[in-house]
Amino acid sequence: MTRAYREIYLSNAQSVLGDAFDYSVNTCRIPGADFVKLFVASSVSKRMENGEPSVLSGKSGIEIAMEIVFETTGKNLELKPRERIERSSEYWIGWAVAFYQWYSSRRYGDIFKALTFDDLQKMYYTLHEADITKFVDAADERVKEYFKDTNLKRIRTTYGCTQAELAKESGVSLRSIQMYEQRRKDINKASVETMYSIAKTLGCTIEDLIEK
């Protein structure tokens, strides 16, 4: 399975996002759910998804938090970080979600739709001492439950296109499109030509259509 970026950056990315959450919530008193919204809306989340070394290992978590808040609100965070004896639940949330994003290659926006900050706080108490794979399994379940529709169906309906219209414009048979959306046929195994035709018609990328 393709990961979001090279594993060499993973540990640092986890620490950076963990520190960003801890600093924003516990020092700056930004509600966790609000910081999630700022993070997802910022360019930082996209740059982390793309594996940019400048955000994965070039800055501290506090610098990243400052950048997120300034970019999205225009406000400066100037408070000194508090002394931390042990890792907080907020640190764990950033640390664990960063791992899951790398592992699954999902977008942070999609992850935080399926797993709210409150959900993650509750998961902390049962999973923070467990192997990270336990969190991955739990997160996968929640994400798949939230996104019950296939990516193809979700993108097609958002685009405002019927199955028949998509078939006509893309040149892919209506039956194939129906089977992809019903999961009776695996779109991940479709030919590049088929994926490209559908993606081009819907104005998305081939990666957007792939089921993880």
| DSSP letters spanning 82-105 | PP-SS--HHHHHHHHHHHHHHHH-
2 in any annotated domain? no
In tens, the pLDDT along 175-194 reads 999 999 988 888 989 999 99
> Does the structure show a pLDDT above 90 at 14?
yes
Tell me the whole-structure pTM to 2 decimals: 0.76
Residues 109 and 173 in one domain: no
* pLDDT score at 206: 94
65-70, Cβ contacts within 8 angstroms, sequence gap of 24 or more: 65/19, 65/20, 65/21, 65/23, 65/24, 65/28, 65/35, 67/42, 68/20, 68/24, 68/35, 68/38, 68/39, 68/42, 68/44, 69/24, 69/28, 69/30, 69/38
Least confident residue range of 73-87, 111-125, 190-204? 73-87
* pLDDT score at 182: 86
Indicate the pLDDT class of residue 2, thresholds 50, 70 and 90.
Answer: low
Residues 115 and 156 in one domain: no
Half-sphere exposure of 201 (CA within 13 A, CB side): 25
In tens, the pLDDT along 24-58 reads 999 999 999 999 999 999 999 999 998 999 898 88
Residues 99 and 190 in one domain: no
> Does the structure show a pLDDT above 80 at 148?
yes
Residues 57 and 162 in one domain: no
67 in any annotated domain? yes
